[in-house]
């Protein structure tokens, strides 16, 4: 038995928020609607996960965002394109070190930090939920393979 739990959470409605033109104008309107700024690069806040300089992954209801966005971008449903997996327990960082191309044990990778990295040749977006857990957004077409990789890797972690 290892010190990591791999919990397949399945799919949830997700949208990709993209800004174009002058993204600062739209970001101000969206921030007013949300009650907080859009997360900075490498960060998450609430239901928003920053993927790139002008792209976010959004969980939940997006009706208010659509209205605030106007013609300065798009909200596109992922169509079930991601599976969510929670890695938790004392060894979740060690498990990520088995296949990720970044330092998952770095103190800078703290709560609400976000990184997209290849793991076992699959691009995965990771969000630190707490000191004891991380949420992974995995392309649905590769989820079974990555879950198997993590299960095999977790079985080999030192105790």
> First and final CA of the chain: distance in angstroms?
8
Q: Which of 24, 14, 18 has the alpha carbon at shortest distance from 79?
A: 14
pLDDT at position 12: 82
Residue 101: band (very low, low, confident or very high) from pLDDT cuts 50, 70, 90:
confident
Using one digit for the tens of pLDDT, what is the confidence trace for 109-141?
A: 999 999 999 998 899 999 999 999 999 999 999
Residue 21: band (very low, low, confident or very high) from pLDDT cuts 50, 70, 90:
confident
Using one digit for the tens of pLDDT, what is the confidence trace for 53-71?
A: 999 999 988 988 988 888 8
User: What sections of the chain are H helices per DSSP?
Assistant: 23-34, 63-69, 92-97, 143-155
Q: Which of 25, 18, 33 has the alpha carbon at shortest distance from 65?
A: 33
pLDDT at position 23: 84
pLDDT at position 1: 39
Measured distance CA(85)–CA(91) in Å, rounded: 15
Quick one: what percent of the chain has pLDDT higher than 90? Answer: 67
């Amino acid at each position: 038995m290892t010190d990591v739990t791999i919990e397949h959470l399945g799919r949830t409605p997700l949208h990709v928020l993209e800004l174009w033109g002058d993204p600062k104008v739209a970001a101000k309107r969206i921030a007013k609607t949300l009650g907080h700024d859009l997360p900075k690069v490498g960060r998450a806040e609430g239901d928003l996960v920053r993927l790139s300089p002008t792209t976010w992954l959004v969980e939940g209801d997006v009706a208010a965002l659509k209205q605030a966005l106007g013609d300065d971008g798009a909200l596109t449903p992922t169509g079930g394109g991601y599976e969510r997996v929670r890695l938790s327990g004392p060894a979740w960082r060690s498990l990520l070190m088995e296949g990720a191309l970044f330092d998952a044990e770095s103190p800078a990778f703290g709560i609400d930090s976000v990184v997209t990295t290849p793991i076992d040749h699959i691009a995965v977006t990771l969000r630190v939920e707490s000191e004891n857990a991380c949420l992974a957004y995995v392309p649905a077409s590769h989820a079974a393979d990555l879950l198997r990789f993590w299960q095999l890797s977790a079985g080999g972690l030192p105790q």
